[in-house]
Amino acid sequence: MKQTEVAIIGAGPIGLEMAVACKRAGVSSVQIEAGAIGSTMGWWAPGTRYFSSPERIAIAGVPLVVAGEEKATREDYLHYLRQVAAQFALDVRTFERVVEIERDGEFFVLRTVKSAHGVGGIEEQRRVEMRAQEDPTLRKASASASGVRKYRVKKVVLAIGNMHTPRMVGVLGEGLGHVSHYLEDPHKYFGRQVVIVGGRNSAVEAAIRLYRAGAKVTLCQREQELERERIKYWILPELEWLIEQGLIGFEAGVEVREITEDKVIFGRGTERIEVVADLVLLLTGYVQDASLFEMLGVELGHEERRPRFDGKTMETNVPGVFVAGTAIGGSAARTKVFIENAHEHVERIVRAIAGREVAVREKAVFEGNEES
């Protein structure tokens, strides 16, 4: 059994920054990740571009340099995260999933098993659906079977993110094979009639990208009008123009009632609306898997099930258990925590654990240039 001071669960940007900060502070740590480094980004569509500028999402004081001085793509950022992990020789245990955490006196004992993929994405959705049908006693047995690794630590940092499984619409036909909650490579959608459900950035960006890829797109949303304040300012004019020209179909103030093999049935009050669809994208957001919080006894509050924590230290109601990054948001309907405003979480946690200040990046002032 490996023993160390801190276990960092999750190897996304803030998790990696946490590991670097621990190293700088002389605090021993091990990092455990269910998939690859930056796992959540792994299931984004190729070429997805960050809304935030490079200096905002750079971590650990390492500059993020992008060709053409543009905003980073998914591929740019994954490459950058690998380089940071290599530069600081971080001890990241990828493709290990934490399945149990127990208190043992002043320590925590973590048990992990091998994992084929990280959280989020189509594979994770299938895993969750399959495990929901399993006998709970079999889950307990699998967690104690041979091949399980154990870690004994004094502190646990949960940097697990919050985009784990889709926010389900809950209508007949949602489980059909041509329906997905994830945008894949735009090439897949060429020549197809695609209905996209959702009205915020992910849905809007998908509509524009798929139109450019040669799909016939209809964007459908519950709101009566485009949510101008929630759509990125450099995307909104283009979307409005495409809708005005009839190049992207648009149905506002509608709710999904049923999905069939060849269409989506919406309702607008008493009105029934049918939209032909070869493929359906339900881009209605994602929810957090809170099982690790629950194992540890972390209190989850509000409808969004946000973990309770001290804003000065990021320590939860469970002594020795900290939360960082977007994980603090629970299953928030509207994201308010991003990479760029979570760097301070790392500094607070290291200060609480090591009793000293460790700067994680060069300070910069971005007021007046709102992005995320």
What pLDDT, in 10s, does the model give residues 166-221?
A: 999 999 999 999 999 999 999 999 999 999 999 988 999 999 999 999 999 999 99
Specify whether 16 is located in the same domain as 139. yes
> What would the pLDDT profile of 19-45 be if each residue is shown by its tens digit?
999 999 999 999 999 999 999 999 999
Helix-helix angle 74-87:13-25, to 10 degrees: 20
Q: What percent of the chain has pLDDT over 90?
A: 76
pTM: 0.90
Show the DSSP H helices in 2-101 as ranges: 13-25, 39-42, 54-57, 74-87
Specify whether 8 is located in the same domain as 144. yes
Q: Does residue 304 or residue 293 have the better pLDDT? A: 293
Domain that holds residue 92: 2-165+286-354
> What would the pLDDT profile of 40-81 be if each residue is shown by its tens digit?
999 999 999 998 899 999 999 999 999 988 899 999 999 999
Q: Answer whether residue 360 is part of any domain.
A: no
Specify whether 95 is located in the same domain as 130. yes
Q: What is the average pLDDT across 345-369?
A: 76
pLDDT for res 338: 86
Specify whether 83 is located in the same domain as 12. yes
Closest CA to 37 of 98, 86, 72, 101: 86
Q: Answer whether residue 366 is part of any domain.
A: no
Q: How confident is the model at residue 357 (pLDDT cuts 50, 70, 90)?
A: confident
Last residue of a domain, one of 262, 282, 302: 282
CA distance 178 to 83: 37
Q: Does residue 232 or residue 144 have the better pLDDT? A: 232
Asked if the model's pLDDT at residue 153 lies above 60, the reply is: yes
In the numeric block, which tokens belong to residue 221? 């949303």
Last residue of a domain, one of 242, 264, 282: 282
Specify whether 153 is located in the same domain as 180. no
Q: Answer whether residue 359 is part of any domain.
A: no
Closest CA to 326 of 348, 355, 306: 306
Number of domains comprising the chain: 2
CATH number for the domain harbouring residue 56 = 3.50.50.60
Q: Answer whether residue 184 is part of any domain.
A: yes
Specify whether 149 is located in the same domain as 222. no
Asked if the model's pLDDT at residue 367 lies above 50, the reply is: no
Per the prediction, the chain carries an average pLDDT of: 91
Specify whether 133 is located in the same domain as 262. no
Asked if the model's pLDDT at residue 140 lies above 80, the reply is: no
> What would the pLDDT profile of 77-97 be if each residue is shown by its tens digit?
999 999 999 999 999 999 999
Asked if the model's pLDDT at residue 108 lies above 70, the reply is: yes
Specify whether 272 is located in the same domain as 315. no
Specify whether 298 is located in the same domain as 318. yes
Q: Phi, psi (5° rounding) for residue 209? A: -65, -40
Asked if the model's pLDDT at residue 319 lies above 90, the reply is: yes
Specify whether 253 is located in the same domain as 115. no
User: Does residue 264 sit in helix, strand or coil?
Assistant: strand
Q: What is the average pLDDT across 104-119?
A: 93
Specify whether 131 is located in the same domain as 95. yes
Q: Answer whether residue 160 is part of any domain.
A: yes
pLDDT for res 331: 86
Specify whether 193 is located in the same domain as 277. yes
Q: Answer whether residue 361 is part of any domain.
A: no
pLDDT for res 2: 79
> What would the pLDDT profile of 265-275 be if each residue is shown by its tens digit?
999 999 999 99
Q: What is the average pLDDT across 234-246?
A: 94
Q: What is the average pLDDT across 254-277?
A: 97
Contact 124, 164 (CB under 8 A): yes
Q: Answer whether residue 364 is part of any domain.
A: no
269 to 20, 220, 253, 266, 305: CA distances (angstroms): 54, 15, 9, 10, 31
Closest CA to 217 of 239, 185, 184: 239
Segment among 115-119, 122-126, 208-212 with least mean pLDDT: 122-126
Q: How confident is the model at residue 279 (pLDDT cuts 50, 70, 90)?
A: very high
CA distance 159 to 24: 18
Last residue of a domain, one of 242, 265, 282: 282
Segment among 101-110, 156-165, 297-306 with least mean pLDDT: 297-306
Q: What is the average pLDDT across 315-336?
A: 90
Q: Answer whether residue 365 is part of any domain.
A: no
Asked if the model's pLDDT at residue 129 lies above 50, the reply is: yes
Burial of 107 (0-12, 13-18, 19+ CB in 10 A): middle
CA distance 328 to 140: 27
Asked if the model's pLDDT at residue 344 lies above 70, the reply is: yes
pLDDT for res 362: 55
Asked if the model's pLDDT at residue 370 lies above 60, the reply is: no
